[in-house]
Amino acid sequence: MGRTVASVAGRPAVGEQALRLFTKLPISGTIAVSIGKNSMSNSPLTTLPQGYRGQPPEQPLQRLGPYQIEGALGQGAAATVYRARRPDGATVALKVLHRAAGADAKVREAFQHEARILLKLNHPGIVRALEAGQMEGYYYMTLALVSGQTVEALLVREKKLGEIPTIDIGVEIAGTLDYLHSQRIVHRDIKPGNILLNERRRALLFDFGAAIDLNIEQPVPGQVYGTPAFLAPEQARGDTAIDGRADIYALGGTLYRMIAGRKPFYGTRGELLEAHLHSTAPRPSQFAYVSPGLESAILKALAKSPNDRHQTGNEFAAALEAARNPGGSPSSNQELPQRLLHWLRNAIVPGE
């Protein structure tokens, strides 16, 4: 069968990803790829659990072109992700659209769009795409295998993280965003579930299903992309003027969730969009102990106007580093005991 392929030379796979990878339809109707929190067996499937939009279930693949399939890492209605071995012996995550899904023009185009963006990127803070194309009638993408867990999975167990882990993860993702935005690419779906912590606890960004490459495209007016709980106001409005500062806002909401044990806003989809547009998030120090410097950095990221936020990922990272090392500011030192006492009082209230 014919084969079309795009690849990045010299990008070996690293480690093993024992995480589920699914393809799903988000609220915007576009395709996004997300990694869940639970591992799955690497043993071969006997049948896929469901077909795409009512189509009969497809049989799992044993081989695709040069890739020897060793087992399934996860599956959804539109795609399956396999653990596969290349002829050179390297193992990769092989994501394959089901034939019925590949025949859907919107699904296929979104899949290829994400692959094109990922293949342009080369940064230690991004889960890498190695190759993408079509062969034997299937659309596919190979990704580096990474052992680890998402921040979302960690928060399910821990509820909230301390200042140092929050700052560490924030600095790394902010640095990754600085690189991403320098390429004029906006992720548009920063959230705990899209940040992977590898075995060395390095924070990696993934799921570029909602990303936009401003070099060649512009947002569609009125369409909302991303996850409602973490959307920047300009995304919630469906603005056509979107830049990297939308990701800064979402990272601020993500760090808020990590340190406070809750999201800035709750409600229905409509209520969340309205809150991002018009409501002020409660200070995270109302729910957990947060130092003044970290709280200030997070709240600045959550400013309604992009002009009032950190303007770049590196600027946000610098603010987080300053929170780690406040330099003994007298005003901050005077405020710390009061904040700690307030947090301790709240911490003993049942249900907090």
pLDDT in tens, 22-49: 333 332 222 223 333 333 333 333 333 3
Q: Is the pLDDT of residue 12 over 70?
A: no
Specify the residue for token string 């990008």: 11
- Nearest one of 201, 135, 138 to 167, comparing CA atoms: 201
Report the SS3 class of residue 233.
helix
Catalytic one among 189, 207, 213, 308?
Answer: 189
Ordered alpha helix ranges (H), 203-329:
233-236, 245-260, 269-278, 292-301, 313-324
Q: What is the pLDDT of residues 63-112, one digit of tens each?
A: 999 999 999 988 877 889 899 999 999 999 999 999 988 999 999 999 99
d(CA 141, CA 5): 9
Domain map (residue ranges) of the chain:
10-143, 148-347
d(CA 344, CA 283): 16
Task: Note if 243 is an active site residue.
Answer: no
Question: Which residue has better confidence, 52 or 300?
Answer: 300
**Can you name the CATH fold of 10-143?**
Phosphorylase Kinase; domain 1 (3.30.200)
DSSP 261: S
Average pLDDT of the segment spanning 237-261: 96
Degrees to nearest 5, angle at CA 309 with 305 and 314: 150
Give percent above pLDDT 90 in the chain: 64
Which residues are CB-contacts of 70 (< 8 A; sequence separation ≥ 6)? 42, 44, 82, 83, 84, 85, 91
Dihedral pair phi/psi, residue 46, rounded to 5°: -95, -30
Long-range contacts of 240-245 (CB under 8 A, 24+ apart): 242/186, 242/188, 242/212, 242/214, 243/181, 243/186, 243/214, 243/306, 244/177, 244/180, 244/181, 244/186, 244/312, 244/313, 245/306, 245/309, 245/310, 245/311
Structure tokens at 289: 């102990």
d(CA 27, CA 219): 16
What confidence score (pLDDT) does residue 220 get?
A: 86
d(CA 224, CA 202): 30
What confidence score (pLDDT) does residue 18 get?
A: 29
Average pLDDT of the segment spanning 333-343: 48
* pLDDT band per the 50, 70, 90 thresholds, residue 154: very high
What confidence score (pLDDT) does residue 290 get?
A: 95
Architecture of domain 148-347: Orthogonal Bundle (1.10)
The pTM of this model reads 0.79
Burial of 9 (0-12, 13-18, 19+ CB in 10 A): exposed
What confidence score (pLDDT) does residue 23 get?
A: 34
The CA–CA distances, whole Å, from 203 to 100, 206, 293, 295 equal: 35, 10, 22, 21
Contact 71, 42 (CB under 8 A): yes
